[in-house]
Each structure stands twice: as C-alpha cells, then as structure tokens.
Amino acid sequence: MSELLKPPAVPSAILNFFASQPDFPAVAGDISEEFHQRIQSFGPKAAKRWYWREAFRNALALTRRELLQTPIRTTLIAFGSFLTVSLVTGWFTRHGLVSGPSPWDVFATQLLFLLAAGLTGGKLLPRREWALALTFTAFSICIDGTLRWIYPVLRVHFSAAQLAAVVLGSGLRQGAFWLGCLWIRIHPRSFAVTSIAPGTPRSSPPRNPPDLS
C-alpha cells in the first residue's frame, strides 16, 4: 500500500491502544473506510488531518468510558497500590537490609514495587489498565499537592535542586507504575500501524464511528 494511502502512524497507534475494547473492530473499520473515502474525495493531506481529529476524539471517548466502567473498584485498587508501596518503602527505610538503606536503595525499591503493583493491578482490571494508570496518577497528584500545602506550614523548605529531584523522582515512579500496569495491554502488540481495508467484514458495522461520548 502506498504511503499516501496509509493512516498516520501516531494516531493509528493511539487507536490500537484500545484494541481490547469490545467494539474496537467496528470503530477502527469505520474510521479506516471513511479515511479511504476522504482520500478519494479531498486528497491524502485532508484525509490525514481528519484521521488525526477522529483518532483523538475516539481515544478521549474510549478513555472516559473506561474510567466510568468500574470507578469504585479502580479507585480502590489504585489506592491499595499507593498504600502498599508506601508501607513497603517505609519498612525498608526503617529496617534496611544490612546496615541501613541509602536514598538510592529506597528509590530503587519504590520503582520495583510500583512496577509489581502495576502488574498486579493490571491483571485485576483487564481492559481497564489505562483507567487504573490515570486514577493512580490523579491520586498521587492529590497527595503531592496536599503535602506541598503542608510543608510551608511545617516550615519545611526545599532548594531548587531538591525540587527538581522530587519532580524527576515522581515522574520515574509514575512511569514504573504505568509500565507495569500497561505491560499486559501493550505487550501482545507492537504498535505497528494497522489498517483495516475497506470492505472488510466487521461486527456491528455502523456507517459512522459510534459516538462514544
């Protein structure tokens, strides 16, 4: 297939991220069919711009639906993951392994347990791993925001270097949980661009992509 007839790689990968959703074949098939029709009617550039907009619109709608599918269970698992990692890190900090942990030991332990917590949470919430990762991040932001409000009250101040280290550490911790949580979801696929050719049979084939919003 000519490169001009292929959907853009990035929005295709974004759509493929939701391939585990039950109605994904119908959504992807209709978008692909409309994309090829727009190539014929408006040209490749206009069709690709439309594909970008449609990919993000459907990704946002699928994300919202995933978040609202089991919000209480997702929140409880996110909170349990955060609490478990905090307790394990606290125990490791107090007791250590041999002669007391260094800050790098504590940080490495956090990353390891966040990775394990993400893997466990992802297995407990199949097809809702993305919702779990977002909920965990939202919960972490709320906790960090509360602590930043408390620190000035306690007269605890950080230098610019310390604040940069805190931000970097938070990003790496979030990344470890996201990697564990989403590993099951992305591992079976390579995020290669996939395109369903026009006319391919699909289940529940609506004419236009369903409005998931």
Per-residue pLDDT at 95: 63
144-173 pLDDT, tens digit per residue, is 666 565 555 555 565 666 666 667 778 888
- According to DSSP, residue 197 is labeled P
115-147 pLDDT, tens digit per residue, is 999 999 999 998 899 999 999 999 888 876 665
Whole-structure pTM over 0.75, yes or no? no
- Residue boundaries of the structural domains of the chain: 3-67, 71-186
Dihedral (C-alpha) 106, 111, 115, 116: value to the nearest 10 degrees?
-10
33-62 pLDDT, tens digit per residue, is 999 999 999 999 999 999 999 999 999 999
Dihedral angle sign, alpha carbons of residues 117, 121, 127, 133: negative
CB 58 within 8 A of CB 206: no
Rounded CA Rg of the chain: 22
177-209 pLDDT, tens digit per residue, is 999 998 888 775 433 444 444 444 443 333 444
CB 119 within 8 A of CB 129: no
List all residues 6 or more positions away from 129 whose beta carbon is below 8 Å from its beta carbon. 121, 122, 181, 182, 184, 185
Q: Which residue is listed with tokens 């919000």? A: 71
What is d(CA 187, CA 180) in angstroms, rounded to the nearest whole number? 11
